[in-house]
Amino acid sequence: MLNEKNPEVLIIMGSKSDWETMQHCAKTLDNLGIAYDRAIASAHRTPAKAEELARTAEGRGVKVIIAAAGGAAHLAGVLASQTHLPILGVPMKGWALDGLDSLLSTVQMPRGVPVMTFAIGKAGAVNAAVAALQILALSNADRRKTLIEFRERQTQEVLSAKFED
């Protein structure tokens, strides 16, 4: 549920084109009942905006930031340098190396400035939303219940799957 006033999660994308992938993250957050906000900020083209989003996030109630970027993918690292909130990095498939460049740029952070990095593309976008729920569940019993129910639904979906000949 997109909620600009009381978001627990902030999704920041390096460009508008990242929304094609990150809408799966937003949809997962919606399904889990987690309020989020979204923004576009580039580590290279709008660094002041990216830094401001990170510095002010906690004051707006944000508890987790999900950063999605392609190419050099320094967005997650720039955000991590400006806040102590957890940063979840989602590398985008891009114009070079099929997203491997984004993955390496996101995961290779210097010691002491962590970015939790996920798979390239849609799987990473969905898993970042689930990981945000896991983080929120550490200090919120309702979120813990949502997480347990989510896991149980996944289990039942696999157990009930049948081949139709």
111 is in an annotated binding site: no
Sheet holding 64-69, edge to edge: 36-40, 9-13, 64-69, 87-91, 116-117
Q: Report DSSP state, residue 97.
A: G
- Per DSSP, helices labelled H in the chain are 19-32, 47-57, 75-80, 100-107, 122-137, 141-159
Burial of 7 from C-beta contacts in 10 A (0-12 / 13-18 / 19+): buried
Q: How many angstroms separate the Cα of 97 from the Cα of each of 48, 100, 120?
A: 28, 5, 12
18 is in an annotated binding site: yes
45 is in an annotated binding site: yes
The dihedral region occupied by 76, where left means phi > 0, alpha psi between -120 and 50, and beta the remainder, is: alpha
Where is the binding site for substrate, in residues?
15, 18, 45
Binding residues: 15, 18, 45
